[in-house]
Amino acid sequence: MKIIDADIISRQIFEDRDVLQSVFSHFGDSIKNDDNTLNRKALGSIVFNDDKKLIELNELTHPQIYMKIVNQIQKYKSMGEEIVVIDAALLIEGGYLDIIDKLIVVICNKEEQIRRVQYRDKCTIEEARSRIDSQMKQEEKIKFADYLIDNSGDINKLKLEAEKFIEYIKVNWCE
């Protein structure tokens, strides 16, 4: 099994000078660090507080992210990998349903979600809520799910959920 992490890919595309220039041109110098790299926090404060700006950023970056994911899937399949997992928050919103066979939706309660975003991104409660609110609601994502994992608990509960899921796919999805 191979895992493709869309967050890593999204960081990698900002190493591409053309993508970076396009984003700088669109959003201005306020998102540029002194060394001409992307100031993610500054960009985040713009796009996670303005739906229109988030759509504009996605229009600039998602085609490259999509192509990198498709290329990695093809690479892994040509290597004989039977299962390739795409770990991405925006699979549904980003139009990836056409390249996946099954969708596993991982949910957690809102308070835990906010706490985790605050920890990961070192941001305020308001910033965390803004980021979460910019995504499709969990209730909507669940409608697309082939399998649902609740990650509201601790790491041990998640491990149990993962083990149940592995057994489920062995029985129901593998040939």
Residue 38's DSSP bridge partners are 32
Q: Which CATH class is domain 102-175?
A: alpha beta
Look up residue 15 and give its two tokens. 């190493």
C-alpha distances in Å from residue 42, one per residue of 1, 4, 27, 111: 36, 26, 10, 25
Cβ 69 vs Cβ 86: under 8 Å: yes
| Average pLDDT of the residues in 148-156 | 93
CATH code of domain 1-91: 3.40.50.300
CB count, 10 Å around CB of 171? Answer: 8
- Model confidence over 89-112: pLDDT tens digits? 889 988 899 999 999 999 999 999
Contacts of 85 (CB under 8 A, 6+ apart): 1, 2, 3, 4
Residue 119 has pLDDT above 90, yes or no: yes
Residue 11 has pLDDT above 70, yes or no: yes
Same fold, 1-91 and 102-175: yes
Mean pLDDT, the chain, integer: 92
- pTM strictly above 0.85: no
Q: Which DSSP helix (H) or strand (E) runs through 87? A: strand 84-87
Measured CA to CA, the distance from residue 135 to residue 51 in angstroms comes to: 10
Amino acid 175: pLDDT? 65
Helix H segments across the chain?
Answer: 6-13, 17-27, 40-47, 51-78, 110-121, 125-133, 138-142, 155-172
Amino acid 151: pLDDT? 94
CB count, 10 Å around CB of 71? Answer: 12
**Residue 173's pLDDT band (boundaries 50, 70, 90)?**
confident
List the chain domain ranges.
1-91, 102-175
